[in-house]
Amino acid sequence: MLNSKESARFSWPAALSLVVLMLLIAGVFIFWRLETWPARTITQSTEDLERLGKDLRAAFIDIAHLQPRITVNNRTIVNEATPTAELAILERQLKVKREFQHTWAGSSKRIKLSGTFLVKAGFDLREDVAVDVRPDEIVVHVPHAIIVGIEEKHVDVLALDNGLWNRISGADLEKELAQLPEMARTQALETGLPTEAEQELQHQLDKRIHSRQPLKLLFNGAAPVESPAVNR
C-alpha cells in the first residue's frame, strides 16, 4: 500500500516534465516550419513553374513541331531548339486577275489572266523562339507572322489578243503569269492574313495551356512590309 502511494507521488513530476518536453519539441517544430516556410513556398512555386514550362514545350511540339528555348525565373531549363523551317497556321484561297496591254505604232496587244492560289500564313521558326515563364505571366517570344507559301491551284488565260504587227511573245506571257502569285501575296497582306495567323497562334496556345497567369505573345522586331505588285 505504501509502495503504491510513493509511486503515485513520484509519477506526477515525471509526467509534468514529459509534458513540458513535448511542448518544447512542438514549439521548436512550429518555429522551424515558420522559418522555412518562405523557402519551401519558393521551391514549390519553382517546381510548378518548371512543370508549366515543360507543358508549354509539349504544346509547341504539338502545334509547331518545335521545341523552343524555355526559361523559368531567368533560369534556362531547355536551351536547344529543334530545327524547323516554317510553320503554316492559316490557309486562304484567293483569286486574282491581271490584264496587260501594250500599244506600239498604233498596234495593240492584250493579255488577260485569272488565277486561284492557296496562300499560307505562318512563322519563320529559324528565328529565335523563346518562352519565359514568370510567376505573374508567361511571355512567348516569336517572330512576326509572314506569308510562308503560295500554291497555284488554277490559272485561266482569258484573253490573248495580238496586234497586226505588235505580237504577243512567249516572254510577255511568262512575265504576266509570274505576276499572279505576287498579286495573291499582296492581297493576303492587305487583308491581314499574317495578323490573323498571329491571333490564331495565341488562340491555340490559350486553348492548349491552362495556367493561372496570362500568356502573352511578344513578336520580335517590326512586322515585315512588302511592296505590292503593280497591276498594269
Specify if 12 maps to a domain. Answer: no
3-state class percentages of the chain: helix first, strand second, coil last, to nearest 5? 45, 35, 25
Specify if 2 maps to a domain. Answer: no
Helix (H) or strand (E) holding 94: strand 86-104
Specify if 31 maps to a domain. Answer: no
Residue 152 has pLDDT above 80, yes or no: yes
Task: List Cα–Cα distances, 148 to 57, 86, 107, 145, 196, in angstroms.
Answer: 23, 7, 41, 9, 14
Q: What is the CA radius of gyration of the chain?
A: 35
Specify if 122 maps to a domain. Answer: yes
Please give the Cα distance from 168 to 130 (Å, whole number): 53
Specify if 229 maps to a domain. Answer: no
Specify if 18 maps to a domain. Answer: no
**Residue 165 in 3-state DSSP?**
coil
pLDDT, position 9: 53
pLDDT, position 212: 78
Domain around 100: 58-220
pLDDT band at 36 (very low <50, low <70, confident <90, very high): very low
Q: What is the mean pLDDT of the segment spanning 127-153? A: 85
pLDDT, position 195: 93
Please give the Cα distance from 142 to 202 (Å, whole number): 11
- pTM of the predicted structure, to 2 decimals: 0.66
Specify if 118 maps to a domain. Answer: yes
118 forms bridges with which residues in the sheet? 93, 151
Total domain count, the chain: 1
Average pLDDT for the chain: 75
Kindly report, residue by residue over 210-220, the tens digit of the pLDDT: 777 788 888 87
Specify if 134 maps to a domain. Answer: yes
Residue 70 has pLDDT above 80, yes or no: no
DSSP string, 64-78: HS---EEEETTEEEE
Q: What is the number of H-type helices and E-type strands within the chain?
A: 3, 8
